[in-house]
């Protein structure tokens, strides 16, 4: 439960982290977007400011152009004011004045000097009119009944206001249909009496041709309106005089904007109004008055026009950003997905690992872990441990007691992880199953090896050491399958002599050789895996055999040995990570087997060669008891004789009386002979074998004795203990 | 153990009777000295009545064989029982001697 909730917690934390990261990236994207929107906004604003300045400039230019025309027209009138005053008494010459005005001033398309009715008694109505039509000067009179000039605004207003006046635009019918505006000024005679009105006509068409051409924006246009709001110059020439601002207001729904505009323009103010129209969107209207005329000039620029470039840029930018963001999101999602997949895989791996660990723990829990394992026994002391490395490894040990025999094993599966763990579990079960019916370690090992036949295709193997200790006699049978030799404690600590053999799982038909020795009271066996001998410190030095032997040198209980070894390894490796399982099994034999009950015969000989024949009787008696044939008896006799002769001839100095002790043990499947003497230490098994393949000339005379012992007996082992040479010889029956 | 040595027509016959164990070999070493002194012709080691041989005994056989080889003598081992044949086989002696 605990582990599950922890995993859940870790998973939740990971998800939180992932989403946190996502949120962070999204925030970054939003900030990026916001920044670019701000930039666009600033760009908009600056564009707008620039447009305003530009528009103001355009407006000013257009105004100046209009004012220039106005000035020219007014100037033309003023220039001829003096002569006109003088001509009032001589109206005939007035026609010349008008002609000159028209001829001299390109802005003026027509001019008249209209006498105030009644001023001249002879000519109550008189208004000679000169005008240009199709580039030619024409002259006519406005004093017709039809035209009736005194009724016209251009005549009435200046007289009323007593000064120069620009008329509302109107359609002049005298000289053809021309839309025009007329500047008219009262003419005072030298006596100060108003005698006439002098005029200068300005064609609206001409005006619109010469002013108000806006090339700042294609869709911008200017509007010139009269003091009453009549359009004098519009976006289209045909609009001139056909519309008033008020008419426009009716068409354009933006009431507030239009009324502000109308009010401002008619009041002769300067200003900017934004007006929303249906077709053209928002328009900025800059307007300013034309002095003296009562006119007002406006420049209209659609907002879309101003922001056209900005819009285009921003659309491209936006598109790019959206694209970028989209890509970013896709990348993010794929990264996030990858991360999630990875996490999922990790989780699954962790789960598998922990399940394996559980599986292994179950296996391990079947292995004896409670120490002492046999509290009721005082003839054996056992301690064992596995200190697993981080990864699931493949070390194992096991032991159990059956029929007064201790079955034990230690093993190391090649590799780590899942397969090693499985193979370890399999090996352990096989050991238990096979050893339940078999007490020969070699047979047990062979059985396990055969069962592993199918494994070899994985290239995995197990180094394995299996032993059977007969509790009563101290007889130790063992078989090594490629494992490192255990340490044996007799009078000193040394490596047990083992045949290497092949590890398990390499060759299924492999025949394993068994070995044997005899344990005495207080002897001990220390089995371990290379996780101990190859434990590494930070300097990459190995723990090694010497350190192990040094640690085990002191007398301790099995458990204390175990703890001491663990501590020594921990001190040695310091903070270097443990790379391999550390496994050890310590078996301390405590049975006093000095007088084994199985002993059949005991013979003590003096170091006299003449006593050798006694061996024949000794062997004969044994042969009879065990029921072995003559040939075998002769072989045993020969081996014993050779071994004993060796002692008699070489163990003791000449002239010194010494003894050779010969014990024979009869067991179910073998005979065991133990020779001991107190002579000088001599290990006959260390002597090289005689070469029996040599010819007569090369053949040495000696060396055959030990050769025969080795060949006849199945196991020959030597040790020197308590001042005695002890040679154990075992013959299987 | 007893050894009977006979010489007839350039054929020396040594007949071993009993067990040729280590103490016996020490005695036999003296008995066969005449053969070692003159190891020529054919030397027959008659083992018909020899029931046992130890490595000391084998050493005597090998000593005779070496001496004969040096002087051009011929050694024949005669009538060894199966047990002794086993020992001969184990020690490679079957290849060193002519066995009859």
What local confidence, expressed as pLDDT, does residue B20 receive? 93
- Alpha-carbon span A517 to A292, nearest angstrom: 139
What local confidence, expressed as pLDDT, does residue A401 receive? 92
Kindly state the tokens that stand for A169: 């635009």
In a domain, A147, yes or no: yes
Nearest CA in chain B to A693: B92
What's the mean pLDDT in B28-33? 90
What local confidence, expressed as pLDDT, does residue A11 receive? 65
Same domain, A559 and A701: no
In a domain, A221, yes or no: no
Assess whether pLDDT exceeds 80 at residue A478: yes
Kindly state the tokens that stand for A44: 């908009």
Interface test with A, best of B36, B55, B86 (most A CBs within 10 A): B55
Pairing of strands B2-8, A724-732: unpaired
CB contacts of A635 in chain B (<8 Å) are: 83, 86
Assess whether pLDDT exceeds 60 at residue B6: yes
Same domain, A560 and A454: yes
Residues of B with CB under 8 A from a CB of A: 19, 21-23, 26, 52, 54-56, 58-59, 62-63, 65-66, 69, 82-83, 86-87, 90-92, 95-96
Query: Cis omega (within 30 of 0) on the bond before A372?
Result: yes
Same domain, A410 and A542: yes
What local confidence, expressed as pLDDT, does residue A2 receive? 41
Q: Is there a contact between B83 and A697 if contact means CB atoms under 8 Å apart?
A: no
Assess whether pLDDT exceeds 80 at residue A552: yes
Assess whether pLDDT exceeds 60 at residue A597: no
pTM over 0.95, yes/no = no
Task: Give the CATH number of the domain where residue A707 resides.
Answer: 3.30.565.10
Same domain, A518 and A653: no
What local confidence, expressed as pLDDT, does residue A675 receive? 93
Same domain, A581 and A606: no
Nearest by Cα to A451 from A406, A510, A397, A410:
A510
In a domain, A63, yes or no: no
What's the mean pLDDT in A683-691? 81
Same domain, A402 and A538: yes
- Alpha-carbon span A211 to A268, nearest angstrom: 20
pLDDT tens-place string over residues A406-434: 999 999 988 777 777 778 888 888 999 99
Task: Give the CATH number of the domain where residue A534 resides.
Answer: 3.60.40.10
Same domain, A563 and A650: no
In a domain, A691, yes or no: yes
Residue A470 CA, distance from chain mean position: 62
User: What is this model's ipTM?
Assistant: 0.93
Same domain, A534 and A584: yes
What local confidence, expressed as pLDDT, does residue A456 receive? 54
CB contacts of A697 in chain B (<8 Å) are: 66, 69
Nearest by Cα to A100 from A125, A123, A128:
A128
What local confidence, expressed as pLDDT, does residue A66 receive? 87
Same domain, A565 and A639: no
Direct distance between the N- and C-terminal alpha carbons of chain A, in angstroms, rounded to an integer:
59
A536-541, Cβ contacts within 8 angstroms, sequence gap of 24 or more = A536/A573, A536/A576, A536/A579, A537/A572, A537/A573, A537/A574, A537/A576, A538/A573, A538/A574, A538/A575, A538/A576
Interface test with B, best of A638, A642, A711 (most B CBs within 10 A): A638
What local confidence, expressed as pLDDT, does residue A3 receive? 43
Same domain, A583 and A606: no
Nearest by Cα to A207 from A57, A62, A78:
A62
What local confidence, expressed as pLDDT, does residue A713 receive? 92
Provide φ and ψ at A468, rounded to 5°. Answer: -130, 120
Domain encompassing residue A554: 366-589
pLDDT tens-place string over residues A376-387: 888 899 999 988
Residue where a domain stops, chosen among A164, A189, A206: A206
Residue where a domain stops, chosen among A537, A559, A589: A589
Nearest CA in chain B to A701: B59
Provide φ and ψ at A187, rounded to 5°. Answer: -115, 120
Q: Is there a contact between B91 and A692 if contact means CB atoms under 8 Å apart?
A: yes
Look over chain A and give the mean of its residue pLDDT values, rounded to a whole number. Answer: 85
In a domain, A14, yes or no: no
What local confidence, expressed as pLDDT, does residue A244 receive? 83
Q: Is there a contact between B69 and A701 if contact means CB atoms under 8 Å apart?
A: no
In a domain, A562, yes or no: yes
H or E segment at A631? helix A630-650
Task: Give the CATH number of the domain where residue A157 resides.
Answer: 3.30.450.20
Q: Output the CA–CA distances (angstroms, integers) from residue A607 to A344, A614, A619, A644, in the order listed.
A: 81, 13, 19, 9
Residue where a domain stops, chosen among A529, A564, A589: A589
Q: Is there a contact between B55 and A705 if contact means CB atoms under 8 Å apart?
A: yes
pLDDT tens-place string over residues B56-87: 999 999 999 998 988 888 899 999 999 999 99
Place of tokens 């005549």: A155
Q: Which of A307-311, A547-551, A634-638 has the lowest mean pLDDT?
A: A307-311
Task: Tell me which of A359 and A514 has the higher pLDDT.
Answer: A514
In a domain, A200, yes or no: yes
Same domain, A396 and A516: yes
The percentage of residues in chain A with a pLDDT greater than 70, rounded to a whole number, is 94
Tell me, what DSSP letter sits at residue A454? G
Task: Tell me which of A694 and A725 has the higher pLDDT.
Answer: A725
What's the mean pLDDT in A622-632? 87
Tally of structural domains, chain A: 3
What local confidence, expressed as pLDDT, does residue A583 receive? 92
- Alpha-carbon span A667 to A732, nearest angstrom: 9
Same domain, A584 and A614: no
pLDDT tens-place string over residues A65-89: 888 889 999 999 999 998 999 888 8
In a domain, A546, yes or no: yes
Q: Output the CA–CA distances (angstroms, integers) from residue A572 to A94, A487, A539, A565, in the order listed.
A: 133, 20, 10, 10
């Amino acid at each position: 439960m605990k582990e599950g909730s922890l995993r859940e917690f870790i998973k939740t934390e990971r998800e939180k982290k992932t989403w946190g990261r996502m949120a962070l990236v999204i925030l970054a994207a939003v900030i990026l977007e916001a920044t670019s929107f701000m930039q666009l906004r600033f760009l908009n604003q600056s564009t707008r400011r620039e447009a305003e300045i530009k528009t103001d400039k355009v407006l000013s230019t257009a105004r100046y152009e209009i004012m220039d025309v106005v000035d020219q027209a007014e100037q033309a009138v003023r220039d001829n004011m003096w002569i006109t005053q003088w001509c009032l008494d001589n109206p005939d010459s007035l026609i010349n004045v008008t002609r000159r005005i028209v001829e001299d001033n390109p802005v003026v398309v027509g001019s008249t000097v209209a006498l105030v009715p009644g001023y001249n008694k002879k000519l109550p109505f008189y208004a000679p009119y000169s005008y240009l039509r199709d580039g030619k000067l024409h002259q006519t009179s406005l004093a017709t009944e039809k035209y009736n000039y005194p009724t016209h605004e251009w005549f009435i207003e200046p007289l009323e206001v007593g000064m120069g006046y620009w008329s509302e635009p109107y359609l002049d019918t005298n000289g053809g249909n021309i839309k025009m505006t007329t500047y008219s000024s009262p003419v005072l005679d030298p006596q100060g009496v108003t005698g006439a009105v002098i005029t200068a006509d300005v064609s609206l068409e001409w005006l619109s041709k010469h002013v108000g051409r806006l090339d700042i924006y294609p869709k911008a246009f200017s509007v010139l309106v009269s003091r009453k709001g009549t359009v004098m110059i519009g976006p289209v020439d045909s609009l001139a005089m056909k519309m008033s601002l008020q008419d426009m207001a009716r068409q354009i729904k933006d009431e507030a904007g239009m009324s502000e505009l109308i009010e401002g323009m008619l009041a002769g103010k300067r200003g900017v109004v934004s007006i929303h129209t249906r077709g053209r969107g928002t328009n900025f209207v800059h307007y300013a008055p034309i002095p003296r005329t009562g006119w007002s000039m406006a420049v209209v620029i659609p907002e879309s026009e101003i922001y056209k470039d900005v819009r285009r840029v921003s659309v491209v930018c936006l598109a790019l950003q959206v694209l970028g963001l989209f890509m970013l999101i896709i990348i993010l999602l794929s990264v996030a997905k990858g991360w999630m997949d990875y996490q999922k895989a990790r989780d699954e791996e962790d789960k598998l690992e922990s399940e394996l660990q559980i599986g292994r723990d179950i296996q391990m829990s079947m292995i004896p872990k409670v120490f002492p394992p046999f509290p009721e026994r005082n003839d054996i002391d056992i301690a064992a441990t596995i200190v697993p490395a981080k990864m699931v490894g493949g070390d194992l040990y096991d032991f159990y007691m059956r029929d007064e025999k201790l079955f034990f094993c230690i093993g190391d599966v090649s590799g780590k992880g899942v397969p090693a763990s499985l193979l370890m579990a399999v090996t352990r079960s096989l050991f238990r199953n096979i050893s339940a019916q078999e007490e020969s370690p070699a047979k047990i090992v062979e059985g396990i090896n055969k069962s592993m036949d199918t494994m070899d295709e994985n290239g995995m193997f197990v180094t394995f050491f299996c032993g059977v200790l007969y509790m009563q006699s101290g007889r130790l049978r063992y078989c090594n399958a490629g494992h490192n030799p255990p340490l044996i404690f007799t009078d000193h600590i040394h490596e047990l002599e083992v045949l290497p053999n092949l590890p398990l799982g390499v060759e299924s038909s492999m025949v394993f050789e068994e070995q044997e020795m005899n344990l005495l009271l207080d002897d001990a066996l220390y089995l371990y895996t290379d996780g101990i001998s190859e434990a590494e410190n930070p300097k990459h030095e190995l723990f090694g055999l010497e350190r192990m032997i040094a640690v085990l040198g002191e007398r301790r209980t099995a458990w204390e040995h175990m703890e001491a070894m663990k501590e020594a390894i921990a001190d040695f490796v310091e903070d270097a990570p443990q790379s391999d399982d550390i496994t050890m099994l310590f078996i301390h034999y405590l049975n006093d087997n000095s007088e084994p009950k199985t002993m059949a015969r005991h013979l003590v000989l003096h170091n006299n060669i003449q006593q050798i024949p006694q061996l024949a009787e000794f062997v004969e008696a044994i042969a009879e008891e065990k029921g072995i044939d003559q040939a075998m008896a002769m072989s045993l006799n020969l081996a014993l004789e050779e071994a004993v002769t060796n002692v008699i001839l070489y163990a003791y100095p000449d002239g010194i009386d010494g003894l050779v002790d010969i014990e024979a043990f009869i067991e179910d499947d073998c005979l065991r002979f133990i020779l001991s003497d107190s002579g000088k230490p001599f290990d006959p098994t260390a002597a090289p074998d005689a070469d029996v393949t040599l010819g007569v000339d090369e053949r040495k005379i000696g060396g055959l004795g030990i050769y025969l012992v080795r060949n006849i007996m199945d196991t020959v082992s030597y040790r020197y203990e308590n001042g005695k040479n002890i040679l154990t010889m075992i013959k299987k029956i | 153990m007893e050894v009977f040595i006979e010489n007839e027509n350039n054929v020396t016959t040594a007949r071993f009777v009993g067990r040729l164990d280590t103490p016996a070999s020490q005695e036999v070493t003296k008995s066969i000295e005449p053969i070692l002194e003159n190891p020529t012709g054919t030397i027959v080691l008659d083992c018909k009545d020899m029931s046992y041989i130890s490595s000391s005994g084998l050493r005597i056989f090998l000593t005779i064989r070496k001496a004969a080889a040096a002087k051009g003598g011929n050694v024949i081992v005669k009538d060894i029982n199966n047990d002794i044949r086993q020992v001969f086989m184990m020690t490679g002696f079957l290849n060193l001697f002519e066995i009859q």
